[in-house]
Amino acid sequence: MILLVLIASVLIAGVTIYQYREQSRDYHQNRLERKEEQILQSISYVLRETTYPETPENLEYIFMEEIYKIADVQNVPFNIYDLDGTLVKSSRPSFEADSISNCLDASVLNNLLDSGNSRYVEKKTAAGGKYQASYTYINDSKFKPIGIMNLPYYEDNSFSNMELREFLFRLAGVYLIMLLSAIILAYFISKYITRSLQTISDKMNQTDLTRRNEKIQIDNPSEEIRALVDSYNSKIDELEESATKLARSEREQAWREMAKQVAHEIKNPLTPMRLSVQSFERKFNPESDDAQEKVKEFSNTLIQQIDTMSNIASAFSNFAKMPAQQNETLNVVNIVKLALDIFNENYIHFITDEEEIVVKLDRTQLIRVITNLVKNAIQAMNEVQSPRILVTVASEGSQVKISVADNGVGIADEVKEKIFEPKFTTKTSGMGLGLGMVKNIVENYHGTIDFTSQVGKGTVFTVKFPKEVKAV
């Protein structure tokens, strides 16, 4: 709208200037023709009343006094030349007549002869203004040319230019008001139009596959906006249905994977138990002197495998269902120190610049996070000659950051994406549930966990918790 107003104002201003110039040109042309016709009529009257013969030689005598009368009546100066272009008489005073050309240019005579209507108009620019000069044959009573009448005409456009400036000034005022009105109108129209679009944009930005999304409700929308809203709402329905199917599929897949892992882990101790029972049944002799010792050895073996199975069951239980969170106000610095006290390795170091960082977390789960990360770091030190683990705690604005850095073997690039997956492990023992459980705890508190690692140089795990958070 603003652009259209600007373009319209420029076009109308251009057309107005062009129209004024055309009117001015037509006005001066018509005025020159009228003056020329009036002078020729006066000249014809003088020629009819004169007693001198109507010859080129007598023009000077015929118009000796009459030329001044005609110029005074018509209020315009003019000159009379003979047919050869020589000045015969001028209506101007003698001091002005000195500046008049005494002989016409050959170009003027040629154009006058070639014009076909015995009239030629010469256009020039003089003193910063436009100047016209008409040349017309003076005919006797028998329509025979006896001389040339020259009428100089200076175009005075001062009044026209003043009117043009005043009109353009008024037009600029009108278009300034129109422009301001267009800006205000465009602002409110754009706000009205984009209000619905902004609502749709906000809803789209808030769309999340992990939760239920609200549909868009707009009162009295336009047809285009209504079509867009209906399309979005239908996609929300499809998204919710797809999310439900995806969640169900993921849960089923997770339970299948968990069942496979549980079966695999349970089979590991069952095999030696089976072999032990078979060996005991085949070799055991109740009457043997060492029968009691063999029974005891057999019992220890079974107990050991049963404990292994119990540990497996506990680990999966802890991962599948976390204990209820008991949030309390904690000093993270003290809790991290407490978690590190259970480790006897002298290469574990703790650093913090603050004595107290208060957050609301579950003490047991926070300790579990620290112990799992430190255990992983210790297990990465098997092949390191000078092991070192550095645990740091620091505040970062509204968050607390806990880092566990080691100089162990590092994590290969091809397994970095799987490091938090349940049942994934690079160790020869264990079930690969530790980091998955840590990630689960951290995300339940709307925190983040990430890591950086270089093979052969070490790994740094970084956990960030909000200081004020509502646990899921």
User: Which string of DSSP letters, residue by residue, matches 432-453?
Assistant: S-HHHHHHHHHHHTT-EEEEEE
In this prediction, residue 117 has a pLDDT band, given cuts at 50, 70 and 90, of low
In this prediction, residue 431 has a pLDDT band, given cuts at 50, 70 and 90, of very low
Domain ranges (residues) in the chain: 2-161, 223-320, 327-466
Which stretch of DSSP H or E encloses residue 9? helix 2-49
- Region 168-189 average pLDDT: 86
Q: Do domains 2-161 and 327-466 have the same CATH topology?
A: no
**Cβ contact 231:215 at 8 Å:** no
Q: What is the pLDDT of residue 432?
A: 40
- Region 93-106 average pLDDT: 66
- The first and second tokens of residue 148, run together, are 């040339």
pLDDT at 461 over 90: yes
The string of pLDDT tens digits covering residues 206-217 is 666 556 667 776
pLDDT at 309 over 80: no
pLDDT at 108 over 70: yes
Q: What is the pLDDT of residue 331?
A: 92
pLDDT at 368 over 80: yes
pLDDT at 439 over 90: no
Residue spans of alpha helices (H) in 124-222: 158-206
pLDDT at 18 over 60: yes
Overall fold of domain 223-320: Helix Hairpins (1.10.287)
**Cβ contact 92:82 at 8 Å:** no
Q: What is the pLDDT of residue 317?
A: 60
Q: What is the pLDDT of residue 405?
A: 93
In a 10 Å sphere around its CB, with 0-12 CB exposed, 13-18 middle and 19+ buried, how is residue 63 labelled? buried
Q: What is the pLDDT of residue 299?
A: 80
- Region 369-394 average pLDDT: 88
- The first and second tokens of residue 20, run together, are 């004024």
Closest residue by Cα to residue 213 from 244, 188, 256: 244
If you ran DSSP here, which 8-state letter would residue 470 be given? -
pLDDT at 322 over 60: no
- Region 363-382 average pLDDT: 86
Q: Tell me which of 225 and 98 has the higher pLDDT.
A: 225
For the ranges 179-188, 223-232, 370-379, 444-453, the lowest mean pLDDT is seen at: 223-232
For the ranges 237-246, 363-372, 378-387, the lowest mean pLDDT is seen at: 237-246
In this prediction, residue 199 has a pLDDT band, given cuts at 50, 70 and 90, of confident
Mean pLDDT of the chain: 79
Separation CA 423–CA 435 (nearest Å): 10
CATH 1.10.760.10 fits 2-161, yes or no: no
Of 88-97, 183-192, 235-244, highest mean pLDDT: 183-192
In a 10 Å sphere around its CB, with 0-12 CB exposed, 13-18 middle and 19+ buried, how is residue 33 labelled? middle
Q: What is the pLDDT of residue 255?
A: 67
- Sign of the Cα torsion 24, 26, 29, 33 reads negative
Query: Which residue matches tokens 């029972």?
Result: 277
pTM beyond 0.85: no
In this prediction, residue 338 has a pLDDT band, given cuts at 50, 70 and 90, of confident
pLDDT at 316 over 70: no
The string of pLDDT tens digits covering residues 131-171 is 788 889 888 888 888 899 999 888 777 777 888 888 888 88
Q: Tell me which of 62 and 240 has the higher pLDDT.
A: 62
CATH superfamily of 327-466: Histidine kinase-like ATPase, C-terminal domain (3.30.565.10)
